[in-house]
Amino acid sequence: MEKIELKDAFAEFKNQKNIDRATMMGVLEDVFRTQITKTYGSADNFDIIVNVDKGDCEIYWNREVVEEVEDPNTQIALEELEDDDYEIGETFAQKIELKDFGRRGILNIRQNLQGRIMDIEKANLYNKYVGKIGEIFTGEVYQTWAKEVLILDEDGNELRLPKHEQIPGEHFKKNDTVRAIIKSVEMKNNTTPYIVLSRTTPEFLEKLFEQEVPEIYDGLITIKKVVRVPGERAKVAVESYDERIDPIGACIGVKGSRIIGIVRELRNENIDVLQWTNNTQLLIQRALNPAKISSIILGGEEDKIKVYMLPDEVKKGIGKGGCNIRLAGMLVGKEIEVWRELPDDEDMEEEDVLLSEFDDVIEGWIIEKLQGIGCDTAKSVLALSAEDIAKRADLEDETVAEILDILRAEFEDDEE
């Protein structure tokens, strides 16, 4: 029975994928040598011959023939031998049967062997996916939980798509096909490798473009930078060294045929494709398009970039919830502030008041937040709803109400 069970363990080991014969033989020999050491105290004078194909092994205990035994592990008395052909000083090789290890010993061999199999499986899985970090993976949803989705590959290996790596608002159900980028592979406490997928990284969008646009895959068009607010908006800056190729047109395709598939994959995320340039001012203008910029001031306080626009252009430049201006800043690598360009007409100037004039009644950090969403005058703040101000400037409702009361009072006093 013990031999049959051990043979099954051999077969299980043999059938594992990506295990070369040399590794297989080495592991099996090591498993038996470990058990021999436990049983006999040392395995130095044992020969182990493993036959993987038959699922069997031969073990020989080599001892020196002596008249008087001093070390039972390495010596055997001549009088103990039934064979008269041996002489003092020769080596006697005794075959050890599996049953000599006892039932507990055979169980230890089997468990140790299975443990080594699992370790090799883990190592193979880790090596398989650690080399694929940054590549797109397509798999089937096996189970969904509140904090993550479990996805299986073609071999039944488990990959995880955490909630924070999912595009906001998307939901998955069992058997759905999911595409995502392999973000990381970790070994935690010697358990099965923890493989994390992501659908929110800029790299995922970049890989989707590589799949949909042959010119990018072939290297004729280069993606210089990708920035995203997952589920809302993304900006992709591209460049072509061949003047005959229009990088923007190639990425979008005829009537949007290429980009439409990417937009659908990202749950209707708006994607702006623009031409890359090393000229920061020109890059900002392209990133904030269709808003028209009056002037740009680079550097200055805290290395921020100030962009001046006419009042009618500010809303387009900032975008919904400040998304457009934030992405433009991510694209150039600096924070961008939108300022309203005040008209030159003096009467118009008298009708409005700069927010900086209220620094005696409104705290400076609040003024800065309002300026950050493009409101640098009193009337530009009053033109927005309280809800919009609270959301875009990240202010409490009570604070917004107080600000609006202060600003309204300024114009009421002027009228009186």
Same domain, 16 and 90: yes
User: For 9, what's the count of Cα atoms within 13 Å in the CB-facing half-sphere?
Assistant: 25
Q: What is the pLDDT of residue 1?
A: 39
Greater confidence, 414 or 385? 385
Percent of the chain residues past pLDDT 90, beyond the cut: 43
Q: What is the pLDDT of residue 130?
A: 94
Backbone angles phi, psi at 329, to 5 degrees: -65, -40
Q: What is the pLDDT of residue 416?
A: 47
Confidence of residue 332 (pLDDT cuts 50, 70, 90): very high
Same domain, 287 and 237: no
Same domain, 315 and 272: no
Residue 160 has pLDDT above 80, yes or no: yes
Same domain, 330 and 381: no
Confidence of residue 351 (pLDDT cuts 50, 70, 90): low
Mean pLDDT for all residues in the chain? 85
Residue 137 has pLDDT above 60, yes or no: yes
Residue 349 has pLDDT above 60, yes or no: no
Tokens of 164: 């924070």
Q: Do 385 and 352 meet the contact criterion of CB atoms below 8 Å apart?
A: no
Same domain, 387 and 415: yes
For residue 388, being part of any structural domain is answered with yes
Domain residues for the domain of 321 are 277-341
Domain C-terminal end among 127, 157, 186: 127
Give the mean model confidence (pLDDT) for residues 402-411. Answer: 86
For residue 335, being part of any structural domain is answered with yes
Domain C-terminal end among 127, 148, 182: 127
Between the alpha carbon of residue 201 and those of residues 80, 172, 227, 372, the distances in Å are: 75, 19, 9, 26
Domain C-terminal end among 299, 326, 341: 341
Same domain, 205 and 183: no
For residue 78, being part of any structural domain is answered with yes
For residue 85, being part of any structural domain is answered with yes
Residues, the chain = 416
Domain CATH number, residue 284: 3.30.300.20
Residue 159 has pLDDT above 60, yes or no: yes
Coil vs helix vs strand at 380: helix
Helix (H) or strand (E) holding 56: strand 56-66
Percent of the chain residues past pLDDT 70, beyond the cut: 89
Q: What is the pLDDT of residue 254?
A: 92
- Rounded Cα distance between 56 and 24, Å, is 13
- Nearest Cα neighbor of 76 from 89, 63, 95 is 63
Same domain, 180 and 229: no
Residue 4 has pLDDT above 50, yes or no: no
Which 8-state DSSP code applies to residue 293? P
| Domains held by the chain: number | 5
- Rounded Cα distance between 386 and 398, Å, is 10
- Prediction pTM value: 0.69
For residue 289, being part of any structural domain is answered with yes
Same domain, 221 and 292: no
For residue 133, being part of any structural domain is answered with no
Confidence of residue 9 (pLDDT cuts 50, 70, 90): low
- Nearest Cα neighbor of 236 from 261, 281, 203, 196 is 203
Give the mean model confidence (pLDDT) for residues 77-87. Answer: 81
Confidence of residue 12 (pLDDT cuts 50, 70, 90): low
For residue 132, being part of any structural domain is answered with no
Q: What is the pLDDT of residue 79?
A: 84
Confidence of residue 82 (pLDDT cuts 50, 70, 90): confident
Domain CATH number, residue 24: 3.30.1480.10
Same domain, 145 and 117: no
Helix (H) or strand (E) holding 139: strand 136-144
**pLDDT for 364-392, tens place per residue?**
889 888 877 777 788 878 878 888 888 87
Give the mean model confidence (pLDDT) for residues 204-213. Answer: 96
Residue 19 has pLDDT above 80, yes or no: no
Confidence of residue 301 (pLDDT cuts 50, 70, 90): low
Residue 75: strand pairing partners: 64
Domain CATH number, residue 144: 2.40.50.140
Same domain, 70 and 96: yes
Q: Do 141 and 176 meet the contact criterion of CB atoms below 8 Å apart?
A: yes
Residue 350 has pLDDT above 60, yes or no: no
Same domain, 222 and 289: no
Give the mean model confidence (pLDDT) for residues 323-350. Answer: 75
**pLDDT for 259-296, tens place per residue?**
999 999 999 999 999 999 999 999 999 999 888 898 88
Give the mean model confidence (pLDDT) for residues 29-55. Answer: 85
Residue 160: strand pairing partners: 150, 196
Range scoring the smallest mean pLDDT among 210-219, 288-297, 323-332, 351-360: 351-360
Confidence of residue 13 (pLDDT cuts 50, 70, 90): low
Same domain, 235 and 312: no
